[in-house]
Amino acid sequence: MRERRRARKLALQMLFQIDLGGVLLDDVVKYFLERSDESEEIKDFALKIVKGTLENLKEIDSLIKERLQNWEFDRISNVDKNILRFAIYELLYRDDIPVAVTINEAIEIAKEYSGSEAGKFVNGILDRIKQDKGIERKQSK
């Protein structure tokens, strides 16, 4: 498994714990990162995703809410919600990551942690945000 996907999965676990359990970031870092046997590079990338997502959470959640059709924000599963959150953070604030990579990684993680329908849901929301915001980053050569 690619390193960045492992970092994204670690970020998902941390965001999920913060969201569901109301746990503080410092406690999550201690639990997930200090105990993890992942490389420092993976842990560093995961922490950047988590911090960036949390720092921009109001804007990110607003973008999700604006694109929901016939569904309430509070009814989105916590797994799907947090996958969307970190992927939107990457789309908006990480110019070093190609758009297609962010979206594909989010879809694959959603399929693994939530189910095939979640992959379609995540893809739909992220694709609308990409189009609405005019985000077009291609893979660097």
- What are the domain boundaries of the chain? 3-133
d(CA 114, CA 125): 16
Q: Taking a C-beta distance cutoff of 8 angstroms, is the pair 91, 129 a contact?
A: yes
Instruction: Pull the structure tokens for residue 32.
Output: 């997930």
Band (18; pLDDT cuts 50, 70, 90): very high
**Residues of the chain with pLDDT > 90: what percent?**
73
Specify the pTM.
0.92
CATH H superfamily, domain 3-133: NusB-like (1.10.940.10)
d(CA 137, CA 100): 8
Write down the pLDDT at residue 123. 95
Residue 70 gets the label, from left (phi > 0), alpha (psi -120 to 50) or beta, of left
Supply the DSSP symbol for 69.
S
Q: Taking a C-beta distance cutoff of 8 angstroms, is the pair 87, 126 a contact?
A: yes
* For residue 52, pLDDT beyond 90: yes
Q: In terms of Cα–Cα distance, which of 52, 20, 54, 48 is closest to 33?
A: 48
Give the CA dihedral 27, 96, 57, 104, nearest 10 degrees. -90
Q: Taking a C-beta distance cutoff of 8 angstroms, is the pair 14, 45 a contact?
A: no
Band (1; pLDDT cuts 50, 70, 90): low
One-letter amino acid of 58: K
Q: pLDDT tens digits, residue range 83-126?
A: 999 999 999 999 999 999 999 999 999 999 998 789 999 999 99
Write down the pLDDT at residue 141. 41
